[in-house]
Amino acid sequence: MSCNCSPGTSCDGSSSVPVKGSNEDKIRKNKQLLICAMVLILFLLRWFHIVDSFLGIDLAFFAIFVGAAPIFNRAIESLLNKKLNTDVLIVIAIIAALAVPKSHFATAPWLGFEFNRLISSRFFPAGSVIIIMLGIETLEMFTLVKMKSAVDKLMALAPKKARVRRGQLEVEIDIAQVKVNDVLIVKPGESIPVDGIISKGNGSINESAITGEGLPVEKSENSQVLGGTICELGAFEMIATKVGEDTAISRVIRLIKDAQNKKPEIQKYADKMAGIFIPTVLAIAVLVYIFTQDPVKTAAVLLVACPCALSMATPAAVIAGIGNGARKGILIKGGIFLESAADVDCVIFDKTGTLTFGKPEVTDVLSFNEMGVKKILSFAASAEKLSEHPLSTSILLEADKRKVTYSAPDSFKVFPGKGIFAKVHGKDVLVGNRKLFQDNQIEFRSNADEEILRLEQSAKTILIVAVNGVVEGVIAVADILKNDAIQAVKQLRELGIKKIVLLSGDNESVSQEIGRQLGVDEVRASMLPEDKVLAVEELKKNFTVAMVGDGINDAPALSASNVAIAMGSGTDVSIACADIILKTNDVRKVAETLRLGRRTLSTIKGNIIFSMAYNVIGIALSATGLFIPALAVIFQEAGCFSVMLNSALLIRFKEKPIF
């Protein structure tokens, strides 16, 4: 049976492309925990002689087989890819420990009979290494936060049904059945099903899901509307122009998939160092065997050099760093993102909802005559009381804040895209933009015109108030900066960030004004989701880029960045795409996150340097015969403890690491 579905989708239209946060992470964690617990239990049963064998196989050897299997698989895969990592050295050490005959194992009388009986087992060194490594892997795996599918969440937001006109009837059909040139009906509060052009009626459209613009956009006949946006006020008929995979919401989904597939896996710092360390250790082990012909000394060298402390260097610091961040409201989805954050030298901010509040607020109320600010606000609030427009809501909130009394109008009429007319206490009240006043042939006095022009040049939305045909005042509304936004940019400067960029779906004048207030290096306005992705990709050529956003329209750019940081108040889609989430919504936490990443990486490097120096001492003691294999393992475990102790200091954040 053939299928004509597009690549990346199943026949029912759902995504089949694997994305971050699938259930595989949960399965892997549970499997890892099960293996770790099983191996530990088997060794305890064997070492305390509760059970010695299973189906004739020594229980310790069986435990080694179970525990080492995943390590062997990764080592083989690494060798096939012509790479050396810590797994390769661990496997060599395990094989060396098992290859040494029991008769070659020495004891240390000063340690006591019972301890000697334990460590003289040929399975003790290999078993100890496996238990340590499984513990490290389990610890590291449990630092991951559950990651949900961004694409699944975004698809859930897309409308499932559409209301289509069929002759004189309105028929509700599945979204997949909508065709180009179909006439669709959209009512207040509904999502627009597909892209199209309004053929009849008008509406106030919330396009933040696609463009990120905070204020609703007024649409009338012949205006273009986008699927996935919301008609907050008004109702209209529209002609479908793009359906299915061609709609704006589908393009955003594709952008997220493409960006996540292109995002490279960042190599861990420990693995980079392992490429130098492992060949050196292997060369030393070969030389020890050539000069001593002693397999026990050779095995001891390999075991003491087994990169337990090296492997612990990253996860121990990462766990401490993630714990530190969690206490401060910084949720980090994995250690690799902390390492990446340390290298960031360019920060890109979305505007709406990230640096601004994402909703209109009254910034100015001016009186041009003797009426006074409170009276103007009272007339405007009364006129707007029955309106559901976001600008009306901001006026009512401002009136409440200033304790201004207002009442419902005797009558009112809405002029879409222009403003409102109302009868308030027998007086004619107009509240709206210049177009409304031009249509009603109401002129401005020179002082009023100058003030209105000044506010417009400040990138604010202007609502002019007239009573009985006389312009009495003006109310300015804007999506204002968060209190901590300017300080956040200043902190990034102090941290040495080379470039700070503002991206916005809002218009040029508003975006430039916000950029000027913040003091960023570059402002790019009127950005669609695909434009933001292109901007991120362009900047990634010269910088390590952190993208900070909160909206659906930011999700593709978040996925494309080196480090994706989402505001906790943002959409589920942006949070799912993010590597780091600022739960407190304090944008100053961006600098704190990058600082934490740098401190974590510094701790990791310190751990690695210490573990390598520690291994050099252990190798020297083993090569001279002072360490038997069992003592080599114990010495190595002491190094692991030291690394964990140093990493634990990271939880306090202000304290400097020991190493």
Residues annotated as catalytic are: 350
DSSP-derived 3-state class of residue 112: coil
Pair of tokens at residue 156: 């859930």
Residues sharing a CB contact under 8 Å with residue 467, sequence separation 6 or more, in sequence order: 371, 379, 427, 428, 429
Pairing of strands 183-186, 195-206: unpaired
Q: For residue 149, count other CB atoms closer than 10 A to its CB.
A: 21
Q: How far apart are CA 500 and CA 522, in angstroms?
A: 7
Cα separation values, 258 from 146, 228, 506, Å: 22, 20, 25
Residue 189: CB atoms within 10 A of its CB come to: 11
State both tokens at 304. Answer: 């003491």
Q: How far apart are CA 624 and CA 301, in angstroms?
A: 10
Q: Are 226 and 236 in contact (CB under 8 A)?
A: no
Q: 327: buried, middle or exposed (CB in 10 Å: 19+, 13-18, 0-12)?
A: exposed
Q: Which two tokens stand for residue 211?
A: 């463009």
Q: How far apart are CA 247 and CA 182, in angstroms?
A: 14
Q: What angle do CA 545, 551, 555 make, to 5 degrees?
A: 50
**Distance from the Cα of residue 416 to its chain's centroid:** 38
| CA distances to 303, 605, 616, 659 from 276, in Å | 18, 14, 14, 20
Residues 6 or more apart from 249 whose CB is under 8 A from it?
Answer: 154, 157, 158, 209, 210, 226, 227, 228
The residue whose two tokens read 């417009």 is 456
